[in-house]
Amino acid sequence: MHLLHIISTPRSHESNTIRISNALIEELYGRYADLTVSVLDLFQADLPAIAGANIESKYKLMTGQALDTYHQSCWDAIDATCKRFLEADIYVITTPMWNLGVPYVLKYYVDAIVQPGYLFRYNESGVAEGLLKDKKMVVVTSRGGDYSPGSPLQAFDFLEPYLRAIFGFVGVTDLHFINAHGMDISEAARRVALLKAIGEARALAANGDWPAAEAEPILLAAAARGQRVLVDA
């Protein structure tokens, strides 16, 4: 099974959010012999333009028009980005909450890949249908405050509802969130939240229903399997 780790934080080795995701991925590496992982760091990636010729190309394709050489050469970058996303069986998205929502690079990436004919289509009745089938997604988030269910800030969480909506729209029904709340309240609160989220990540890896996975009887060190791991300093 192929896992695509989509990183949406600029902090690299300083990121607590990545530390939680690494715990999940390391556990999966030890349990499943057929796991491969690729990493897409959105703050380092050269994402395709979502303007100009690519907007023109999108609407040409939606109306069944052929692309000329120029528009096709521009659209190729969108095509490659979508296909790389579609190749994965499992997605792990690592993202902090920024201003109650997702960082701008993650929104940009979503706008690049949610394309008709790739992630969704319109049926004969004009109703949108998601094309992602049998995919699993885990979203690991960190939040400065406590936005957990029942908290005073819960209504201000636009991160989880947005990601659930957009990936549900394209067909992802197996979607799990691991949220580290209260990371900026105090050092003690950060440690408690981090350890709790890491525990949730390891438990999910051990007990989750992973697609096309073959369990490995002996846990293997992630480093021995060539994993690219980003760990807090």
At residue 229, the pLDDT reads 39
Does residue 142 surpass a pLDDT of 60? yes
Angle between helices 69-86 and 104-113 (to 10 degrees): 110
User: Does the pLDDT value for residue 145 go beyond 90?
Assistant: yes
**pLDDT tens per residue, range 120-133:** 998 889 899 999 99
pLDDT digits (tens, 9 = 90+) for 78-87: 999 999 999 9
What pTM did the predictor assign?
0.87
Q: Which two tokens stand for residue 55?
A: 């907007």
* Distance of alpha carbon 185 from alpha carbon 145, whole angstroms: 7
pLDDT confidence tier of residue 213, bands split at 50, 70 and 90: low
Q: How confident is the model over 89-120, as pLDDT tens digits?
A: 999 999 999 999 999 999 999 999 999 899 99
214 has a pLDDT exceeding 80: no
- Residue 148, Ramachandran bin (φ over 0: left; ψ between -120 and 50: alpha; else beta): beta
**Distance between CA atoms of 90 and 88, rounded to whole angstroms?**
6
pLDDT per residue as tens digits for the range 154-212: 999 999 999 999 999 999 999 999 999 999 999 999 999 999 999 999 999 998 788 75
Q: What is the DSSP letter of 217?
A: S
Cα–Cα distance measured from residue 6 to residue 93, given in angstroms and rounded to the nearest whole number: 5
CA angle 119, 104, 42 (to 5 degrees): 70
